[in-house]
């Protein structure tokens, strides 16, 4: 019983947080709900203060969930202002392990290129040890170096010992993804034949022990920097043993129970006879649209791939948009209602807000470039005329609903139903 109450409290915290978010927040529900859930637990335990929790919520809303988490080897006192001066928008994530020498940043997707340019320079300045420091190696080789990734994360000293004995000029790069078994090393190109021969001997040794080791291949600086990107799960896994121990009491139930509970409460699309329909239908701040399943959902590039039913979303192609100009409207499921056995949907747009719209590439269109709900309605959903053929399915639906519920539809559906195109 006590455990159920604890679960309910966390669910409520998550739901309150998600109410502040755009629908895109729910697009990444598998990861983002995980973060909100984890932060809600930390907040409840007094580990995370209210300001940190609120900052993350505001950042998700401001970016429409378009961000990546970056693992940064940072000196003490790092401030986000250093990046903001370069026009890079982001936020410092709560540090789940203050003693590991890393911090995590959430970087706005639109600023990713600027961040990568800064990050590459930053990593070069943070090279650690080896036979040469980074600048010595670059000066010695005239910049003729390569980066290799080798499965020696747990045996860094062994590889350093071998390279020193073989006279290989190298410098060790910061390990940006601790736990993947790999470390990255910059090597002078002139010494690459020695490295390749050394690695071949290592492969043969491991093969004799029944272990298959992948071939050696250089990686670009861009590929190396990309190893700093973390999933939400990887970020949570950076938590210290002490923090993990405090969170253990929340894990005494089926994994993912809280996340699944949140989804179940949000994902169901109700019938148009549901009281939620009447509430939105009577709200003057919303405009109502009609969506045909066959033409706007089944013939949509992204409606299916969004796994919308799983994530509490409803996606459909915007009428009149095709091919390179196709746009996809994404709404929370609780703003969509089924009609005519699911062949038609009635949905609601907030008149003065800009709903989430995906472009032809499947990525969110920037907020300021999206139309507001009423503009979207007038341009794409408002009927150009009232054709008789459009009234037939609604008359049929009226008879069905009246038979099923004993209630007429005149007060339940819009007086002037809109047309799909």
For 152-174, give the DSSP string.
-GGGHHHHHHHHHHHT--EEEPP
pLDDT of the residue at 75: 65
Question: What is the per-residue pLDDT for 307?
Answer: 45
Radius of gyration in angstroms for the set of CA atoms belonging to the chain, rounded to a whole number: 27
Q: For residue 70, give both structure tokens.
A: 């970056």
d(CA 155, CA 158): 5
Please tell me the pTM assigned to this model: 0.54
CA distance 65 to 364: 9
* CB neighbours of residue 79 within 10 Å: 10
90 Cα distance to chain centroid? 14
Q: Mind giving me the DSSP string for 81-123?
A: HHHHTTT--EEEPP-S-TTSSEEEEEEEGGGHHHHHHHHHHHH
pLDDT the model gives residue 410: 42
Domain at 127-220, CATH from 3.40.50, 3.30.70, 1.10.287, 1.25.40? 3.30.70
- Burial code of 234-252, b = ≥16 C-beta within 10 A, e = fewer? bbbebbeeebeebbeebee
pLDDT at position 60: 79
The three-state secondary structure class of 280 is: helix
Interatomic CA distance for residues 294 and 316, integer angstroms: 10
Check residue 401 and give its pLDDT: 46
411 Cβ neighbours under 8 A, 6+ residues apart: 278
Nearest to 347 by CA among 370, 329, 368: 329
The three-class DSSP label of residue 289 is strand
In tens, the pLDDT along 180-191 reads 888 888 888 888
CB 168 within 8 A of CB 191: yes
Instruction: Please state the domain extents for the chain.
Output: 2-123+228-262, 127-220, 268-405
Q: Which two tokens stand for residue 376?
A: 């979207």
Starting at the edge strand that comes first in sequence, how are the strands of the sheet with 90-92 ordered?
90-92, 102-108, 67-73, 229-230
* Residue 181, helix vs strand vs coil: coil
Q: Which residues of the chain have pLDDT under 50?
A: 1-4, 6-29, 128-132, 253-259, 261-267, 307-308, 384-394, 400-401, 404-421
Q: What pLDDT was estimated at residue 213? A: 84
**CB hemisphere CA count around 316 (13 angstroms):** 26
Residue 53: per-residue pLDDT: 83
Q: Which residues contact 246 (CB under 8 A, 6 or more apart)?
A: 45, 47
Alpha helices, DSSP H, located in 45-73 = 50-63
């Amino acid at each position: 019983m006590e455990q159920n109450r604890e679960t309910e409290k966390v669910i409520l915290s998550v739901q309150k947080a998600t109410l502040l978010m755009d629908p895109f927040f729910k697009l990444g529900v598998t990861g983002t709900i995980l973060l909100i859930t984890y932060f809600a637990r930390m907040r409840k335990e007094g580990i995370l203060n209210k300001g940190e929790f609120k900052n993350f919520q505001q950042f998700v809303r401001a970016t429409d969930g378009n961000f990546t988490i970056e693992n940064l080897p940072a000196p003490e006192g790092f401030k986000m202002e250093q990046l903001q001066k370069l026009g890079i928008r982001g936020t410092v994530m709560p540090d789940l392990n203050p003693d590991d020498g890393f911090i995590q940043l959430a970087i706005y997707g639109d600023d990713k290129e600027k961040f990568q340019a800064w990050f590459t320079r930053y990593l070069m300045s943070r090279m650690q040890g080896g036979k040469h420091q980074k600048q010595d190696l670059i000066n010695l080789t005239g910049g003729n170096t390569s980066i290799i990734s080798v499965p020696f994360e747990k045996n860094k000293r062994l590889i350093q010992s071998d390279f020193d004995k073989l006279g290989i000029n190298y410098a060790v790069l910061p390990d940006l993804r601790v736990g993947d078994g790999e470390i990255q090393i910059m090597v002078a190109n002139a010494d690459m034949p020695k490295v390749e021969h050394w690695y071949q001997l290592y492969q043969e040794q491991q093969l004799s022990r029944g272990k298959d080791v992948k071939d050696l291949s250089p990686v670009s600086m861009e590929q190396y920097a990309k190893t700093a990107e973390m999933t939400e799960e990887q970020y949570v896994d950076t938590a210290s043993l002490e923090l993990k121990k405090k969170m253990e009491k929340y894990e005494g139930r089926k994994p993912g129970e809280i996340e699944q509970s949140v989804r179940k409460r949000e994902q169901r699309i109700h019938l148009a006879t549901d009281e939620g329909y009447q509430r939105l239908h009577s709200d003057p701040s919303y405009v109502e649209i009609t969506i045909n399943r066959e033409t706007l959902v089944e013939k949509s590039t992204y409606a299916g791939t969004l796994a919308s039913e799983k994530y509490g979303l409803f996606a459909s192609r915007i009428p009149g948009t095709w091919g390179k100009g196709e746009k996809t409207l994404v709404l929370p499921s609780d703003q969509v209602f089924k009609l005519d056995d699911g062949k038609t949907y009635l949905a609601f747009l907030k008149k003065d807000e800009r709903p989430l719209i995906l472009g032809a590439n499947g990525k969110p269109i920037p907020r300021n470039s999206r139309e507001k709900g009423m503009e979207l309605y007038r341009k794409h959903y408002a009927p150009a005329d009232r054709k008789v053929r459009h009234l037939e399915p609604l008359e049929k639906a009226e008879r069905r609903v009246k038979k099923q519920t004993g209630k007429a539809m005149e007060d339940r559906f819009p007086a002037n139903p809109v047309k799909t195109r």
